[in-house]
Amino acid sequence: MRLTDEELQAAIMGFLLREGRWGAHYFPVDTLTRWFAKKVGDGRRVRKCLKELINMRYLSPHKKGDTVSLNPSRRQDIDRFIKEHVPK
């Protein structure tokens, strides 16, 4: 099953949400990319989706972009995005 970019973004944010990665509690980008590349089969696409989420301000970069966390000020938007685009 191939995920669309929106479904992949929702899956990434859902993972960070389950892990409780808000604000200063960040997660390494390399590990996140590796885990999702196993599911999707393309690490470049995962990195592209992460970059889009950062540009949309759903994710906050930390440590010169080596780690990310969910943006606490966009909590309602993130919940809505995940519900609308969750992979079935």
pLDDT on residue 2: 81
List the domains of the chain with CATH numbers: 5-82 (1.10.10.10)
pLDDT on residue 16: 95
pLDDT on residue 86: 81
Alpha carbon distance 31, 39 (integer Å): 13
Q: How far apart are the first and last CA of the chain?
A: 10
Alpha carbon distance 40, 26 (integer Å): 22
Residue by residue, pLDDT tens for the chain (88 residues) are 588 899 999 999 999 999 999 999 999 999 999 999 988 888 899 999 999 999 999 999 999 989 999 999 999 999 999 999 986 5
Express the helix, strand and coil content of the chain in percent, nearest 5 each.
65, 10, 25
pLDDT on residue 69: 96
